[in-house]
Amino acid sequence: MVPAVLGVATALAVTVISGGWGWFQGQWSDPPGLTVHSTIGSCPVYTDKSLSQLRKDSSNDKLAQATPVTSPGDDPATLALTLQARTSEAIVVTGVTIHRVSAGPVPRKGSVIEMECGGALSPRVFNVDLMRPQIRLVPVAKGAGKAVDFPFTVSAGDPEELDLQMFPGGHDVRFSVEVHWISEGEEHSETVMDGTQAFRVIGPGRLPTYSFGDTVSR
């Protein structure tokens, strides 16, 4: 089989205030036909703007390029991966590998904005400590769901969603994701990023924190 990347599409959308997410979206597909849609976001988000700058900006997209933040408590930034085969034939997803591209200190300038978060589906949930020497996905139970590990199968009519809860500690971390699967007895893998760049998530550090209402001009 001749490897061929069929398509790469990326989009950076406006932060959805009602859902409280900073969206970074990407999609790729590669023979034999596994498609992955990725979204990373969090309730608190980081912007390099000060509160006064945010108040002066009356546009709807002033937080469009905000960076997901993992709070000290149980409020991690989450990378959601939706996996689906392009045909009715089942594909066995055998694992996901996280590659840390860089890790530095949390920015000292800017603001953390607390957004409102909406509800979620019932995906397979994994904790990911981005600062471990060997990064691995640890399955965890969330809500009424059970902790479920790899492998599992997907098809066109039976997709799966994975929520990777990212923990960068007190760091500014960039990372990529590699999904592994088997189809027709052959092993495949593909790297997923935010378009052409690595995903990014930070810890809150000592940055000032405000609610979204605080950013509205008064």
The H or E element containing residue 96 is strand 91-105
- Average pLDDT of the residues in 170-180: 96
pTM listed for this prediction: 0.77
- 145-174 burial string, b = 16+ CB within 10 Å, else e? eeeeebebebbeeeebbbbbbbbbeebbbb
Does a cis peptide bond (omega within 30 degrees of 0) precede residue 32? yes
Q: What is the pLDDT of residue 199?
A: 96
pLDDT grade for 80, boundaries at 50, 70 and 90:
very high
77 phi and psi, to 5 degrees? Answer: -65, 145
Question: Across residues 191-206, what is the average pLDDT?
Answer: 90
What confidence score (pLDDT) does residue 89 get? 85
Q: Helix (H) and strand (E) counts for the chain?
A: 1, 16
Query: Mean per-residue pLDDT for 173-193?
Result: 93
Distance CA 117, CA 114 (A): 9
For position 9, what pLDDT does the model report?
30
Task: Tell me: pLDDT of 25 over 50.
Answer: no
pLDDT band at 24 (very low <50, low <70, confident <90, very high): very low
| Chain-centroid distance, C-alpha 108 | 23
